[in-house]
Each structure stands twice: as structure tokens, then as C-alpha cells.
Structure 1
Amino acid sequence: MASDSADFKGTIYYLAGDKPITCLTMKKIFAILLALPLLSLAQKTAKTYDLLLGGYTGTNAGKGIAVYRFDTQTGTVNFLNQFEGVDNPDFLAITNDSKFVYSCNVDPKGAEAQVSAFRFDKTSGKLELINKQPAGGINPVHIILDKDGKNVMISHYSSGSLTVLPVNKDGSLGPVSQTIQYTGSGPHRNQKGPHVHSAMLADNGKKLLVADLGTDHINIYNYDSKKQQPIITENATAEMTGPGDGPRHMEFSPDRKFLYVIQELSAFVRVYKYDNGKLAFIQAINMMPADFTKNSAADIHLSPDGNFLYASNRGGANNIVQYAVDKSDGKLTFVDKFDVSKAPRGFTIDPSGNYLLSAGQEGNTINIFKIDKTNGKLALTDNKIDIPQIVCLKWVSVD
């Protein structure tokens, strides 16, 4: 680098031999230097995730569990891998360390289901099957892991039961260790028997909540992962929802003080205050007009900051309804609703809270919406995933 002090007026010359190839004013250099910490911060906050997709296989359906890479800053998505060795992996659960994935697998002929265990490489998105076990019920629609990763619990819609399978140290699954069989019915035509639809842990893994769509009950148990049969049935309690509601999926507020339950058959969202295994009803808010007769509500999620709640409805509505959350009392206020690809059985919000992805099970498209964090409203982007019969979307951090 050379300069003539007599001619120097705040310009630096970078030379290749004796010819300048670039010149930058001192002001531009200072601007770049000031921007470097911001660029570094942007790089640190940029986050990518693996997006695992579960659904149905067969004719006009998917091929297995698909894995995509998702950028939470841009909303772009790229295919990584697909595992095609299991049938109908309709719901997924992932260990806290992201090393293992579990899927419940529906038997297309209505026989006993299976559950599969996989090793997962989040760098490549590759799944490797470890083993399969009989799931102990018919038509599984939900699977979770306990806090310690010692058991999976599967909700069976058609047999109206909840089963537990132990997880071995190598990630494989043992045979069913416990079955909770429910009985009863409800007033709706789809409530001729029990239909367990989801389970959720609370109180640092010491309580278990089970939603039975067929009997309008949320069943509450003590839970101890150290026991061979971890669901403690003694002194169990149950909260009755509205008759014919059909409780389906549940979501806790970030502070765990409030529980939100979507009702498939009535398309209501019910709000409860939660305290140490006890529920106190607060509010029921309708997702659809009173004269709408094709209710088929499906999924429910809160934004990561807890300011907004979203709930999906199928049955001809094919939309996601947005509510504002009053964090002081948990109550919801309607904000807006957004059209999505047909039959939004499952949707998800990325962990950064920047995007909402809605899987149209029958529309065969996953819509990607940008979330305005100030008002929670959704704006459809040009990004999407064209893939058939997806019902479950799960995140794994890559960074």
C-alpha cells in the first residue's frame, strides 16, 4: 500500500503491483468496521433446523419420514433425506438430544399398530431404523417421550387406549409395559366409544394429561418414569369438557399456568387454569360461526412468546384461526383467520417464532407463512413444500 502524504485526503489505495484496484474512503471503512459486530450478531442469531415430516404412505400418499432443512431467517427449505422403510408414520417424537426418533405406524387394515425406533443424524438428516415393536393398540394418532427419555406413550384412537413402551439405552424399544384402556361414550355421532387422541406431561414430568375425544374427558395421572408401569392410576382425576366437544390436542402457556385444549367436534378452544394437576375452567371460544356444521378442528399451538394462539380447522373451513392471549388471565380474543391448504391436520411454528408451516393433508402442500411478531398475523410466502398426506411436523436444531 502506498500513498503520497502531500496528496492524501482521506483515501487509501490498495495496490496490485503499482496499480490501485480498490479505493475506499475513510468514512466507508469506519462504516464497515462499525457494521462488523452487527454482521457477527446476525450470523450468531441465524438459525437452521431440520424439519421432520410424518404422515401416510401408499397410493397417492407419501413414501415415509421426510427430512428438510429450514432457515428461520429466510423461510427457505431444502430436501435432505427420506426414510421409506415403515408404513404410515403418522406421528413422531424426538429425544431431547436429537439422537433418536420414534414413530407410531398405523396398520392400513385396522390391525394392531407398530412403533418404530430410529437413530438420527441431524447433520445429514439421515434416519436409520433400530427396531420395531407392536404398539399395543389400533390406529395410533399421537406419540410422546417422557422427560427422562425412558418411555414412549402412544395414544390409540380406534382402540381407545394409551400404551407405554420402555426405551432401552441404545435407543431401541422394548415391548409394551403398560396399557390404560378407557371406556365410555359421548353424545356426538363420532363418540360411540373412547378415542384417545393425545397425551402431555406437566409439572416437570410428574403429571400426565390424556385427552379422550370419545368421552369428553381430560384424564390426569401422577407419573413416575422410574417405575416399570410409570402411569400411576391410583387417585387419578378427570376434567369433563363440554358434551360433544371431543378434546383432541393440548398446549400449555410458556409459564405453564394455563392449558389450551382444541375440541375437534365442536371447534371450540377451551382455556383452563392449571395448578399441580388441577384444572379450573376459564373460557370456551368458538373457532367457527354457530351455524357451521362441518367442524373438524385439529391442531393448536402458541407462538414462542405466548402472545398469540393459533388453531386449525378442517371440515370444509380449511383455515387457521388466530387469537390474542391475555397473559394475566389466559383468556383469548379473536384476531383473524387465514386460509390454508386443504385439511390442515397438523401445523407448527418454528422455534424462532418467525414462520408458521401448515400441512394440508388432502391439499398435499405445506404452506409457509411469515409471522408478524407485533400483531401475530400471517402472510403467505412463495416458499412451500409439495408433499402428500403429511400430518406431523417436528423440529431439530442444527446450529
Structure 2
Amino acid sequence: MVEKFLIGTYTKQTSKGVYEIELDTDNKKLKNLTFVAEAGSPTYVTLSKAGILYAIDKESNGDETTGGLMVYDANVRPAKLLQKVLSPGSSPAYVTVDEDRQLVYTANYHTGIISVFKIVNEGKLELLDEVKHTGNGPRPEQQDGAHPHIAERTPEGRIVVCDLGNDTVTTYDWHNDQLSEAAQFNCEPGFGPRHIVFDESRGLAYLVGELSSNVSVLQYDQATGKFDLVETKKTIPADWTAHNGAAAIRLSSDHKFLYVSNRGLNSIAVFAIDSAGRLTLLENISTEGDFPRDFNFNADERFLIVVNQNTNNATLYERDAQTGKLTVCQKDFVVPEGVCVATE
């Protein structure tokens, strides 16, 4: 069986934008890197059920920089450009589609702005509302101001925003095409919240901190949108003293295992989850490359794909569903400046 994935990239060296790769599950092999769409450093991409590709875009004209989204019809190859949604300033860090409400959310790390767009004709976008975060944390290297890194739908339909710069996780209500704050969780200073995943069955969320290289278990109250801290674990060994930035986080569909990428240690941290939702670190397995940002499961979660930005390669693992542990199948598949792995 062949499964396809979209790869978002930086375009500082050889990459031209968004690519597609194939996973041959029978032969346990990645193959056929294919160019899909041109964009300026599309560091995050997502595909709607209608086959519309929303890709981060950054463009420069002299001293002027604009950032936003490229909207493509990805039902054809190469993908057909439908719309550019750009504004002055740097590009967002995250984009996702809310299929139920036919909305698109972006979080802009550089400007502090969270945007909500309505999907209109043929997948094009119309801006509905924006909020701007403020504040800062104690770590000078990345907490000089607000830096929202993800805007995503919660299980019950709110919008959650993790702000790496001011150490907050904010939940927003969405009514009458407007965002309004429902609750805010304050992380420990310097935690640097980056991404979050939910276990609705247990009423829990798992929050990864980029700056602290920690992952926290949070109790989540769907009635109020509030979070409460349960516990926090390290994603790196206690004796690791060099720089590390935790990045992506994925939860297995059986809610028994949690995975986090480490940039610096260059590993995937694998955690077992007990019946109460608490974590035990099982292993840190090498990504066989430098600076892994994003990774993803295939459809049945038998495989996991990670891209290493600085070494231009993707690594394929086979995942043991019983133990949660990973085994390298392939480590030298060329992907230029890869940073995002999105399912098709």
C-alpha cells in the first residue's frame, strides 16, 4: 500500500516550497519526492478534506516583507494557485483547518496575532477576526514578547493557543464570528509552550515546552476551557547540557503512547501513558539527522516519519503498537529543508 504525505519546508537553500513523498508500507520505504507548490518557506502546511492546500508563505520585495497563506487546489499536480492572503510583516508559524465550521486558523509567532478565516468559494479565505497577544517570559532568547505557536480546535469546539513567548495557554470561545477569551493557563516561567494534543477520553491534554524541553500533563475542563497541571516530565536525559528545543508532539490513537521531537538531542522521545494519563519516558531514539521539527504517523500508526531540517533527510520508523517503541527502517531519504509532515 502507498500513502502520501505533504512536506512543508524552509526555502533558504535548495527547497522551492511544498513537496509530496510516498510511503510504501509493504516494503517499509519512503519514495518519490515530488514538487507540489511554490511558496516562500512554507514551514507549516495543511490539507482540507476538499483537497485544498493551505501553506504558510513569506515574500520579500526589497526591504518590505509580507507573510500569510498560499491557497492551492491540490487535487491536481502541480497544485493550482487559488489565492494569496498576505499582510505586512513576517509569516505565521501554524495553520490548520476546522472542517466542521469551515474555518482556518493561523498563529503568527512573530507578530503575536491569531487569525480566523472563513472558507468561502473554492476554498478561498476571508478574514473574520484577529486577536493580538502581549507579554513576555524570563528567557531573553525567545521570550522578548508574545510568540503564539499554535492555534487549534479543542475537543468541544473552543480554540486553544499556546504562546511560547509569554508562557500561556489560552482558550477562546467562538461566537458570532468573534474570538473571546474563555480561560488562561499560566505555565511555569520559561516553559515556552509550543504545541498541545488532547486525550478527550480522560479529559487530559499534553503540552510540550520548547524552551524547557518539558512535557506537561494537564487536566482539561470542557465546561470552562480551564487547564490544571497534573505533572511535568523532561523530554531529554538529565545529563544533557547542550542546547535543545522540544518541538512537535503526537498522541497515539489508543492514548497509550506520546511522542515528542527534540532539536539538539536530535531524537524522538517516546513516553508510555498509564491508566491515569501519567507519563513514563521509555526511550529517546535518534532521528538520524539534525534538527527534527515535525513528524507524523501513517494511517494505521504502524509507521512514523520525521524530517530533519539541517541535514535534508527524512527518517522512517516502524512503531510497535504494544510497546510504543520505534525501529529505524530508512534514514537517508532526501527531503530539502523539511520541517512539517502533513497527512493527505
TM-score (norm 1): 0.79
Query: What secondary structure does 2:122 align onto?
Result: coil
Is 2:38 aligned against 1:85?
yes
Offset at residue 88 of structure 1 (A): 1.3
Task: Say whether the 8 Å CA contact 1:72–1:352 is kept in structure 2.
Answer: no
Q: Which position in structure 2 is the counterpart of 1:333?
A: 280
Secondary structure at 2:247 match in 1: strand
Which residue of the partner structure matches residue 119 of structure 1? 73
Aligned to 1:27: none
Aligned length: 337
Q: What is the CA–CA distance in structure 2 between the aligned matches of 1:157 and 1:150, rounded to whole Å?
A: 23
SS of aligned partner of 2:254: coil
Q: Which residue of 2 aligns with 1:6?
A: none
Asked whether the equivalents of residues 162 and 181 of structure 1 are also in contact (C-alpha less than 8 Å), the reply is yes
Could you say which residue in structure 2 is the equivalent of 1:273? 219
Relative to structure 1, is the Cα distance of residues 111 and 177 closer, same or farther in structure 2, using a 3 angstrom cutoff? farther
The alpha carbon displacement at 1:283 in A equals 0.8
Q: CA deviation at 1:126?
A: 4.3
CA shift in 2, pair 1:333/1:136, >3 Å? farther
Q: In the TM superposition, what is the alpha-carbon distance from 1:91 to its structure 2 partner?
A: 0.6
Tell me by how many angstroms 1:382 deviates.
3.1
- C-alpha change, 1:110 and 1:148, in structure 2 (3 Å) is farther
**Structure 2 residue aligned with 1:129:** 81
Greater Cα shift, 369-378 or 127-136: 127-136
* Residues 5-48 of structure 1, C-alpha deviations (whole Å, 9 max, x = no match): xxxxxxxxxxxxxxxxxxxxxxxxxxxxxxxxxxxxxxxxxx53
Name the SS for the 2:79 alignment partner. Answer: strand
The answer on whether the counterparts of 2:155 and 2:198 sit within 8 Å (CA) in structure 1 is no
Q: CA offset at residue 259 of structure 1?
A: 0.6
* 2:2 is equivalent to residue 48 of structure 1: yes
User: CA separation in 1, counterparts of 2:237 and 2:231?
Assistant: 17
Tell me the SS of whatever aligns to 1:140: coil
Measured after TM superposition, the shift of residue 76 of structure 1 is 2.6
The residue aligned with 1:94 is: 47
| Mapping of residues 145-294 of structure 1, within 5 Å | 145-148=97-100, 150-174=102-126, 176-189=127-140, 190-204=142-156, 206-224=157-175, 227-229=176-178, 231=179, 233=180, 235-253=181-199, 255=201, 257-276=203-222, 277-290=225-238, 292-294=241-243
Match of 2:17 in 1: 64
In structure 1, C-alpha distance between the alignment counterparts of 2:39 and 2:330, rounded to whole Å: 32
Gaps of 5+ in 2: none
Offset, 1:345: 0.8
- The alpha carbon displacement at 1:199 in A equals 1.4
C-alpha displacement at 1:164, in angstroms? Answer: 2.0
Structure-2 separation of matches of 1:199 and 1:135: 19
Inter-partner Cα distance in structure 2 for 1:271 and 1:348: 21
| CA contact 1:165–1:177 (8 Å) conserved in 2 | yes
Cα distance in 2 for residues equivalent to 1:323 and 1:346: 17
Instruction: Tell me the secondary structure at the aligned position of residue 259 of structure 1.
Output: strand
Matched-pair contact (CA < 8 Å) for 1:135–1:154:
no
Q: Output the CA distance in 2 between the equivalents of 1:110 and 1:253.
A: 42
RMSD between aligned residues:
2.0
Distance 1:136 1:72, change over 3 A: farther
More strand by share: 2
Q: Could you report, residue by residue, the CA deviation over 1:76-117 in whole angstroms, capped at 9, with x for unpaired residues?
A: 33326313432111111221x242110111346782302111
State the alpha-carbon separation in 2 of the partners of residues 256 and 137 from structure 1. Answer: 40
Query: Which structure has the greater CA radius of gyration?
Result: 1
Instruction: Flag the structure with higher helix content.
Output: 1
TM-score, structure 2 as length reference: 0.91
| Structure 1 residues 200-227: Cα deviation after superposition (integer angstroms, max 9, x where no partner) | 21134x2111000000000011124xx3
**Distance in 2 of aligned mates of 1:389 and 1:80:** 13
Counterpart residue identity of residue 143, structure 1: V
